[in-house]
A and B are shown apart, each in its own frame.
Chain A
Amino acid sequence: MKSIVWTCVFCLFILLTQESSAQINRIEGFIKDNTDSSLMIGAVVHLKYQKKTGTTTDENGHFVLEDIPSNDVLIIDNAGYATLEIPVSKITSTYSFYIQSITRDEITVEGNVYKDQLESAQMSTITLTTKEAKLLPALFGEVDLLKTLQLKPGIQSGGEGSSGLYVRGGGADQNLFLLDGIPVYNPSHLFGFFSVFNADAVKSITLYKGGFPAMYGGRLSSVVDVHTNKGDSSKYTVNGGIGLISSRLAVDGPIIKGKLWGNIAFRRTYADVFTRLLNKSKEGKPEYKPIPDYYFYDCNLQLTYKVNDKNYLHLTGYLGRDVFKFKNENNTIGFQWGNTLGGVSWVSAIDSNTTLTTTLSVSDYQYQLKNELSSFNFKLTSGIRDYGASSHLTRVFKKHTFQTGIQLNRYVFNISRLQAGTSDGKVQFSNGSALYGTGGGAYVNDVFNWRARWIINAGLRWSWFYREKFYQGIEPRLQVNYRLKERISIKASYSRMYQYIHLANNSGASLPTDLWYPSGNIPSPQRSDQVALGYEISFWGNKLFFSNEYYYKYMKNVIDFRDGAQLFVNDSLQREFVFGKGESYGAEFYVEKKQGKTTGWIGYTLSWTNRQFAEINHGNWFPARYDRRHDLSVVVIHKLSPRFSLSGTFVYGTGQAVSLPIGRFYLQDVDGVKPTNVPVFTERNAFRLPAYHRMDIGVVYRFKPKWGEADLTLSIYNVYNRRNTYYIYFEEVKDQNDIPVKYVAKQVSLFPIIPTLTFNFKW
């Protein structure tokens, strides 16, 4: 195998030394990828001789090490990169410098690449980089980090092709999505088939499914913390791709060299271009039904302004829209929905041990539906706007890393505002309301070592929310790691979470019409308590990593809707809520191989998820729609050569729990013209769809044109053309005289085998 050219730039600046430069006691710095200067998250930084000293870079690619003897050697490890060694004596104070990369045939990271994980108290956490996700096959060639996360244990999808996440039995509304710390209220494009996170703009994603750090709050089941590319301060890069359904372009580089730099990424689908042409060519044909017009686009912007060595300003912007139009002889319907995000963060190193990050942000999600007739029109809008301010302080002591912070949010909820009437203005009516809520939180968190083998991460969060009524809650967080041996850790965690805003969604899919609704007199906040216990082992010469976690999550005041709830244009939506409880428990098994020609993982989850509501299912417990007894994912990536890599994924899951009618009657109704068949549903989610399984294959061919780098990526989705069940319905079969003769059950599948070719380039 020819050499793989991985290069790495190590950008270090030293903030504090002792009296002489030879007696360094603290090193602080950033680690970057040499190819694009992007910050490397989760890289391991440790000392060669004083083996107990080590840490990992945070979400900003930043690390701090204390008590460094000047005669030691600093080592930087990151999976997929060459190990970098720098004598500490060469690192001088108040000096920033770059070290060129090392190139070699095969990367062999010395030491244990799982060391960081074994040494951390954090459990139930998954970090995924865009680089990893890009190696895997993708539906329609669209790399989607949320879908890649679904391949990890404890995380399930909402259905075929969906990017929705169901984490440890939690609902799709119980995930907090953060884009550089700014909440995202609808993380989906195209009704959930794609996420709003453009892979070209994203550096990595960290998902917490339990053991939540105290700085996070507001949702019961997970935190999905998305980190964008911060841009390159020294050189320009243009990334792009042309795929089956969309094209992408991202530009990265300095605006004022060394002072202001950024990244802008744009993506748009173009199916509408072809469907419009098709509609036009078939215009006037009586049997032809026009294809609706649909596209989505999004744009990410990142700017970093270096005020001085100790102060940085980060600007984050996002604009995404889905546009859907349908026109037939009766009316014209237009949907438009999307997120708009903006935020400014000020990162300040107050002194050598203290960092303060202060963020002001706005997140807005709006949905609009217009039905246009010449004499009678209506327009429905709904959405949420969240004005946020937060401040986080991190102080590193000799044996403690202490964090504290506060957060304040002001919410404006636009609940199904309907404006309708005749075009002459004689009849006008409207409906809907704007609700306002204020919430916030404060927390303290400390990570420390206790005796030789214990690592403890303890935190306490206080959260509150006010609308009509004041709610507050104390949220203890605790994670403990007991290092049984150097390669074996036993971990346990407990987390309490409160959720004060709720998603009115009764579909099980991510629809733009889903409404965010605040706590008040009704509904009350939701609460979860989760305990987890597990162990982690690195073995086979640290080539493999195994983890096994057991969890139990109890949820109180879980929200659902009355049978047949009217969520669409309802001024009294709170009357449709019902409150109950939920529980989820299970075991997760995970084996991973990060190094060598062949890498990948196997994840398996055995779980139970149930709900109970007095008003549903006669008050009996019933399985949640996403209750999945078995969930297996196998991911393999094999580098055939520096140019070719192959990848494959296989997923298997117990079929979704669904409700099917078991009885029926004929309603003749008030007119008696045409009696209709009415299904009678009895038990909720008493049936199971057939098991879901699928295999995908990907081939990446890289080449180096004169102008830069490029690759062709072939993805084959559902390679053995499995007809997975999307849903089941009962059909009335009629004879020639339009008289019903029998009823049959039909299974509908969505995606057959789909090969796609994507061209990606970097210039």
Chain B
Amino acid sequence: MVAKVRYLLLFICSVFLFQCDFEKEVNIPLPDYSNTPYIECYLEPGKPYRLLVYKSIGYFEELVPVPIRDANITITHRGTTIILPYDTIPRDGDLRFYNYRSKDSLVPLHYDEAFDLAVTINGVTYTSVTTIRTLVAIDSLYNNCNNEKRCQITIRFKDQANTADFYRFLTFSDSLGGDIKQDFLLNDELFDTENAGIGGGYSFNEGQGAVVRLFHLTKEHYDFLTSVKNSQNANGNPFAQPASIKSNIPGLIGIFSGLTYDSKKVEHVEE
């Protein structure tokens, strides 16, 4: 949809031979912003409990993030409460940054069971609940290349019948950590059979390496990511409505969700 709007704008501008950069910098005084805390927490089986907490900031404020250091954070699962102390040291070559982390506990592989989060900031406690969705495996993957030696990747997987399922399809160039080539969010209302599939555009050069990931998302995570995309689109798209962020931690901005995915690596994308 975003691409479509861009094409429309590109067309409108170009067909009339006017400059779309018919634009100028302006001063917009914004009202004071409340710096609502922002939280990101993904429960990844086999990994420590990790969480990022910092303050969201006014749009034109300094770019430096303002971490919150004095939050009290616990995650409770099967009656056991794990405390996440402040800890900013990155581990295992993880590209992600977290400032709260469990010392020894790892996230167990317990599908569809509740995990409870409690975050206390300045004496106010915010809570949320989530689960880890079951793994949906990528059944098969195939490539297709056009005459210009550009290739696309299509995957097939089995959508679970009788459940509402939400997916995210991510492709990276070369390896994890490479550029994200495609990022699609989809739900199973799209599929009328269990044989589901999704393909992207001709985004890879022939012979290039790629990694494909299929996430089986919780509904809250899907809603959060959708609202993030909508919010980003609304800034700069004259046709879009503003979209508020759908947080699943009431009172705060953020997401608390289990993370399940299947990955496939393609050494050389070719037909």
What distance in Å separates the Cβ of B163 from its nearest Cβ neighbour in chain A?
16
Could you tell me which residues of chain A, from 314 to 351, have a CB within 8 Å of some CB in chain B? Answer: 324, 326, 329-331, 333
Scan residues 714-763 of chain A and give those whose CB is less than 8 A from a CB of chain B: 723, 726-731, 740-752
Cβ B97 vs Cβ A672 within 8 A: yes
Q: Is the CB of A191 within 8 A of B8?
A: yes
Write the chain B residue with the least CB distance to A751.
B18
| Size of the chain B interface, CB-CB below 8 angstroms | 91
Please give me the residue from chain A that is nearest to B98 by CB atom: A668
Contacts known (A665-B38, A681-B231, A729-B236); A742 close to B63, Cβ less than 8 A: yes
A729 and B235 form a contact (CB under 8 A): yes
Of B4, B18, B230, the contact of A750 (CB 8 Å cutoff): B18
| B203 sits at the interface (CB 8 A) | yes
* A616, closest chain B residue (CB): B244
Q: A330-B201, A563-B227 are in contact. Are A659 and B170 (CB under 8 A)?
A: no
A373 B199 Cβ-Cβ under 8 A: yes
Q: Is B36 an interface residue (CB 8 A)?
A: yes
> Which of A420, A509, A680, A743 meets B253, CB within 8 Å?
A680
Q: Which residues of chain B have C-beta atoms less than 8 A from A748's C-beta?
A: 20, 22-23, 238
Contacts of A422 in B (CB 8 A): 154, 197, 199
Q: How far is the CB of A269 from chain B (nearest CB, A)?
A: 9
A676 B232 Cβ-Cβ under 8 A: yes
- Among the listed B150, B154, B243, which residue makes an inter-chain contact with A563, where contact means beta carbons less than 8 Å apart? B243
Asked if A663 and B36 sit within 8 Å, CB to CB, the answer is yes
Given A427-B196, A563-B241, A729-B235, also A330-B203 (CB < 8 A): yes
**Interface size for chain A: under 10, 10 to 19, 20 to 34, or 35 or more residues?**
35 or more
B154 contacts A673, CB within 8 Å?
Answer: no
The answer to whether B240 has its CB under 8 Å from any CB of chain A is yes
**In the assembled complex, A706 has its CB within 8 A of some CB on chain B:** no
Whole-angstrom CA separation of A572 from B146 in the bound complex: 36
Does B80 make an interface contact (CB < 8 A)? no
Q: Tell me, in angstroms, the Cα distance from A662 to B34 when the chains sit together.
A: 10
Of the listed residues B95, B96, B97, B244, the one surrounded by the most CB atoms of chain A closer than 10 A to its CB is B244
From 497 to 523 in chain A, residues with beta carbon under 8 angstroms from any chain B beta carbon are: 506-509, 511, 513
Closest-by-CB residue of B relative to A667 is: B228
Given the known interface contacts A330-B203, A747-B23, the answer about A668 and B11 at a Cβ–Cβ threshold of 8 Å is: no
Closest A residue, CB atoms, query B196: A429
The answer to the question of B86 belonging to the interface, with a C-beta cut-off of 8 Å to chain A, is: no
B196-221 vs A: 1/0 string, CB under 8 Å? Answer: 11011111000000000001000000
> By the criterion CB–CB under 8 Å, are A429 and B190 in contact?
yes
Whether A375 and B199, one on each chain, are in contact in the complex, defined by CB atoms closer than 8 angstroms, is yes
For the complex formed, measure the closest distance between the CB of B227 and the CB atoms of chain A, giving whole angstroms.
5
In chain A, positions 633-665 with a C-beta closer than 8 Å to chain B are 659-665
Q: What per-residue 1/0 map shows which CB atoms of B223-261 lie under 8 Å from chain A? A: 000111011101110111111111000000100000101
Is the beta-carbon distance between B15 and A740 smaller than 8 angstroms?
A: no
Q: Which residue of B lies closest to A289 (CB)?
A: B10
Complex Cα gap A311–B15 (Å) = 48
Q: Are A326 and B11 in contact (CB under 8 A)?
A: yes
Q: Give the distance to chain B from A368, nearest Cβ to Cβ, in Å.
A: 13
Other-chain contact of B1, A190, A568, A678 (Cβ < 8 Å): A568
Q: List, in ascending order, chain A residues with CB within 8 A of B197's CB.
A: 376, 421-422, 426-427, 429
Could you tell me if B242 and A563 are in contact, using CB atoms closer than 8 angstroms?
yes
Contact between chains at B15 and A331 (CB < 8 Å) = no
Contact partners of B241 in chain A: CB under 8 A: 506-508, 561, 563-565, 659
Q: Tell yes or no: A670 within 8 A of B by CB.
A: yes
What distance in Å separates the Cβ of B182 from its nearest Cβ neighbour in chain A? 10
Q: Binary interface profile of B, 143-164, with partner A (CB < 8 Å = 1, else 0)?
A: 0101010101010100000000
A437→B179 CA distance, assembly (Å): 48
B66 to chain A, nearest CB (A): 10
Which chain A positions have C-beta within 8 A of B236?
727, 729-731
Chain A CB count within 10 A is highest, among B59, B142, B230, for B59
Q: Closest approach, in angstroms, between the C-beta of A678 and any C-beta of chain B?
A: 5
* A572 and B11 contacting across the interface, CB-CB below 8 Å: no
Q: Is the CB of B196 within 8 A of A728?
A: no
Q: A564 is contacted by which of B23, B96, B243 (Cβ under 8 Å)?
A: B243
Q: B59 touching A663 by the CB < 8 A rule?
A: yes
Set of chain A residues within 8 Å of B193, measured between Cβ atoms: 428-429
**How far does the Cβ of A412 sit from chain B's closest Cβ, in whole Å?**
21
Per the bound structure, the CA–CA distance linking A661 and B56 in Å amounts to: 12
* Complex Cα spacing A638 to B195, Å: 70
Q: Which of B34, B65, B242 has the most CB of A within 10 A?
A: B242
Cross-chain contact of A291 among B11, B30, B192, B201 (Cβ < 8 A): B11
**Are B180's CB and A674's CB within 8 A?**
yes
Interface of chain B residues 18 through 47 with chain A (CB within 8 A): 18, 20, 22-28, 30-31, 33-36, 38, 40, 42
Q: By the criterion CB–CB under 8 Å, are A659 and B242 in contact?
A: yes
Q: Which of A418, A420, A430, A681 contacts B234 (CB 8 A)?
A: A681
Quote the shortest CB–CB distance from B107 to chain A (angstroms).
14
Q: Which residue of A lies closest to B145 (CB)?
A: A374
Please determine whether B189 and A431 come into contact, CB atoms closer than 8 angstroms: yes
Measured between beta carbons, the chain B residues less than 8 angstroms from A746 are 23-26
User: How far is it, in angstroms, between the C-alpha of A292 and the C-alpha of B240 when the chains are bound?
Assistant: 22
A residues touching B (Cβ–Cβ < 8 Å)? 140, 159, 190-191, 193, 271, 275, 289, 291-292, 294, 324, 326, 329-331, 333, 369, 373-376, 418, 420-422, 426-431, 506-509, 511, 513, 561, 563-566, 568-572, 659-668, 670-674, 676-682, 684, 687, 723, 726-731, 740-752
List, sorted by A's number, 27 A–B pairs whose CB atoms are closer than 8 Å.
Answer: A275-B14, A292-B14, A294-B11, A333-B7, A420-B190, A427-B156, A430-B192, A508-B241, A509-B239, A563-B243, A564-B230, A564-B241, A568-B1, A664-B56, A664-B57, A670-B215, A678-B228, A678-B245, A679-B232, A681-B244, A682-B244, A729-B235, A731-B236, A740-B63, A745-B25, A746-B23, A746-B24
* Interface positions of B (Cβ within 8 A of A): 1, 4, 7-8, 10-12, 14-16, 18, 20, 22-28, 30-31, 33-36, 38, 40, 42, 52, 54, 56-60, 63, 65, 94-97, 142, 144, 146, 148, 150, 152, 154, 156, 170, 172, 176-180, 189-193, 195-197, 199-203, 215, 226-228, 230-232, 234-236, 238-246, 253, 259, 261
